[in-house]
Chains A and B, each alone.
Chain A
Amino acid sequence: MHITKDLVAASATPLVLGILAEGESYGYAILKQVNNLSGGHLEWTDGLLYPLLHRLERLGYVESHWQSPAGERRRKYYRITDLGRAELTEQRRQWAAVVDTLRGVWNAAPMPLPLIAPAGA
């Protein structure tokens, strides 16, 4: 299953904030977690996570700091802020409303079978 670009983009912010709400993390670990949670369905272009993180930082939702353990390369960690938590709550409320609405629609009309088989099937 491939999730469209628009949906990936729309869900990126709440996903990242949600993961960071559980504790500070760094880019690659966040990406792996998104991958695990979605069962591999949510495909991000790896690099694009970073402009997103930087945007969240500029908006004050997360803050970052470099950690350099002895003998290892330094790594940039991100931590959610209070503002970020408030934003996450707000986004969750909005997403819940969207999901509820969709569920209502789909319960009323069960998933139709495609009339024409997709190409290659």
Chain B
Amino acid sequence: MTVDSNSELETQIAEWRAYVRRRQEMHQADAEELEDHLRGRIADLTEAGLHPDEAFLIAVKRMGSLDELSREFAREHSDRLWKQLVLTGDDPAGPARSRRELPVMVACAAAAALAIKVPGWLGLDMDSDAAASFFLRNAGLFALAPLAAYFAWQRRLGAGVIGLLAAFFALGATAVNTYPMAGDSHTLVLAAIHLPIALWLVVGVAYVGGEWRSGQRRMDFIRFTGEFLIYYALLALGGGVLTAFTAGTFNAIGINPETFISQWLLPCGAVAAVVVAAWLVEAKQSVVENMAPVLTKVFTPLFTATLLAFLGAVAFTTSVIDVEREVLIVFDLLLVVVLGLLLYALSARNPAAKPGLFDKLQLALVVSALIIDVLVLIAITGRITEFGFTANKTAALGENLILLANLAWSAWLFLGFIRGRMPFGRLEQWQTRYLAVYAVWAWTVVLVFPPLFDFA
């Protein structure tokens, strides 16, 4: 055998190996075992006088078709068809950094859990109104600062970006803690609701590794957000079961675990779960299908049907929507849901695919939501001009307008796309760029609203 034909044979074997490895039923070790067999066969055949090329072909042929082979492997190792998330990090081939991932995540989660206990240890009476007000102001900070720290480590952020993150967190902390807002004031509640959103978008800067100008990376962050919410909800469910068993078992032996649950289990678990959920989403990224687009596919038709039925009911009964502030918030939330359905359908869509039935359904959903919202807005404008602006009304109205603008333009782009006049990418671009609007609005509510409305 010449050196030349030898290296050619090696290339052929390498190609074959790569081909085998593409089957998820066959693991690295199986591929190695089969390759050993292939080499044994080739060696025997060349010894019998065949050219390496021919020997390779015959050996591959005798190995059997890969389809049949992987079917047999799948029958024997059916577990391999279920993608498993390996959490133990025992992949010795992995880089040292990815093996440190788990300890760093645990450290960040533990830091989060401890941090929320620190104010109590420093003398804050946990049952007092002061404590309630303190945690209302700072919940977002406690939950998201460890997450930002985790991503800062994980993404190896530069000092500049870390400085920027720290500055935003400091800004938020200073604003909610130094503004003279009473514990039950509207501006405080608004700030407490919007600070987590504002900080979540700051975490987004860490998530995208500082590349917040890139539309692709922003879309990644949108995907991450959807999966994060789902995993957080799952962890919360698990936490609920844990809490129930803690309460049940300890009560059974006459120990009342209520203080432990309310002072330790719930607060520490809630903040630690933020880091754990984020880490899970990252770890499962390429292993498990994204859930948010699946839920979107299931619920888009149902929501469309509901909204159309509602519109039909309004038209049929000619009833006027009863306009209260709560109603406005309900419709704000409706727009958020519709926007979420739109976003997560977009996030999973193949940009090159032709418009289909689902896209039309989506357009119908967005348009019906828009019509409903316009009805609500017309009804409420009269009320606001009559009674003047309060912090709550302004916030609810502002949010409504922001979502309305987004959805209206989305509908326009969607229509263009369905009629084949607009590339799908424009829709994606519009959504990823719009993230900046949410950020500006959330920070405005946190920073500008309290002084604007006299901290009422």
Q: Are B33 and A58 in contact (CB under 8 A)?
A: no
Q: Are A28 and B76 in contact (CB under 8 A)?
A: no
Q: Are A50 and B36 in contact (CB under 8 A)?
A: no
B29 to chain A: closest residue by CB? A76
CA–CA, A31 and B59, complex, Å: 13
* Distance to closest chain B CB from A31 (angstroms): 8
Q: Are A54 and B37 in contact (CB under 8 A)?
A: no
Within 8 Å by CB of B33, from A27, A29, A48, lies A27
Residues of chain B lying within 8 A (CB to CB) of residue A46: 37, 41, 59, 62-64
Given A26-B36, A27-B37, A28-B36, are A45 and B68 neighbors across the interface (CB < 8 Å)? yes
B62 to chain A: closest residue by CB? A46
Q: Are A28 and B37 in contact (CB under 8 A)?
A: yes
Residues of chain B lying within 8 A (CB to CB) of residue A120: none
* Distance to closest chain B CB from A24 (angstroms): 15
CB within 8 Å of A: which B66-122 residues: 68-69, 72-73, 75-77
A28 to chain B: closest residue by CB? B40
Q: Are A55 and B34 in contact (CB under 8 A)?
A: no
| B: interface residue count bin | 20 to 34
Residues of chain B lying within 8 A (CB to CB) of residue A58: 76
CB within 8 Å of B: which A42-57 residues: 45-51, 54-55
Residues of chain A lying within 8 A (CB to CB) of residue B34: 47, 50
Give 22 A-B contacts (CB < 8 Å), ordered by A residue.
Answer: A28-B36, A28-B37, A28-B40, A28-B41, A29-B40, A32-B44, A45-B62, A45-B63, A46-B41, A46-B59, A46-B63, A47-B34, A47-B37, A47-B64, A47-B69, A48-B69, A49-B37, A50-B30, A50-B33, A51-B76, A54-B73, A73-B32
CB within 8 Å of A: which B1-53 residues: 29-30, 32-34, 36-37, 39-41, 44
Q: Are B36 and A51 in contact (CB under 8 A)?
A: no
Residue from the set B29, B33, B40, B63 with the largest chain A CB neighbour count within 10 Å: B33
| A: interface residue count bin | 20 to 34
Residues of chain B lying within 8 A (CB to CB) of residue A92: none
Q: Are A51 and B75 in contact (CB under 8 A)?
A: yes
Given A50-B30, A58-B76, are A76 and B64 neighbors across the interface (CB < 8 Å)? no
Residues of chain A lying within 8 A (CB to CB) of residue B39: 73
Q: Are B41 and A54 in contact (CB under 8 A)?
A: no
Residues of chain B lying within 8 A (CB to CB) of residue A41: none
Residues of chain B lying within 8 A (CB to CB) of residue A50: 30, 33-34, 37, 73
Residues of chain B lying within 8 A (CB to CB) of residue A103: none
CA–CA, A74 and B39, complex, Å: 12
Task: Assess whether A75 is interfacial by the CB under 8 Å rule.
Answer: yes
Residues of chain B lying within 8 A (CB to CB) of residue A29: 40
Given A45-B62, A45-B64, A48-B72, are A54 and B77 neighbors across the interface (CB < 8 Å)? yes
A76 to chain B: closest residue by CB? B33
Q: Are B37 and A48 in contact (CB under 8 A)?
A: no
Give me 18 other A-B pairs in contact (C-beta within 8 A), A46-B64, A51-B75 excluded. Answer: A27-B37, A28-B37, A45-B62, A46-B37, A46-B41, A46-B62, A47-B34, A47-B63, A47-B64, A48-B69, A48-B72, A49-B37, A50-B30, A50-B33, A50-B73, A54-B73, A73-B36, A73-B39
**Secondary structure of the B contact surface, majority rule:** helix
* Distance to closest chain B CB from A64 (angstroms): 9
Residues of chain B lying within 8 A (CB to CB) of residue A74: 32
CA–CA, A27 and B36, complex, Å: 9
Q: Are A48 and B76 in contact (CB under 8 A)?
A: no
* Distance to closest chain B CB from A75 (angstroms): 5
* Distance to closest chain B CB from A43 (angstroms): 9
* Distance to closest chain A CB from B121 (angstroms): 53
CA–CA, A74 and B64, complex, Å: 23
CA–CA, A75 and B77, complex, Å: 21
CA–CA, A51 and B64, complex, Å: 13
B25 to chain A: closest residue by CB? A51
* Distance to closest chain A CB from B72 (angstroms): 4
A31 to chain B: closest residue by CB? B37
CA–CA, A11 and B204, complex, Å: 61
B66 to chain A: closest residue by CB? A47
Q: Are A75 and B36 in contact (CB under 8 A)?
A: yes
* Distance to closest chain B CB from A69 (angstroms): 12
CA–CA, A4 and B34, complex, Å: 25
Residues of chain A lying within 8 A (CB to CB) of residue B77: 54
CA–CA, A107 and B134, complex, Å: 97
Within 8 Å by CB of A54, from B40, B62, B76, lies B76
* Distance to closest chain A CB from B23 (angstroms): 12
CB within 8 Å of B: which A94-114 residues: none
CA–CA, A74 and B36, complex, Å: 8
Residues of chain A lying within 8 A (CB to CB) of residue B41: 28, 46
A43 to chain B: closest residue by CB? B62
Residues of chain A lying within 8 A (CB to CB) of residue B72: 47-48, 51
* Distance to closest chain A CB from B28 (angstroms): 12
B59 to chain A: closest residue by CB? A46
Query: Per-position contact with B for A62-79: 1 when CB-CB < 8 Å, else 0?
Result: 000000000001111000
CA–CA, A29 and B36, complex, Å: 11
* Distance to closest chain A CB from B131 (angstroms): 57
* Distance to closest chain B CB from A80 (angstroms): 18
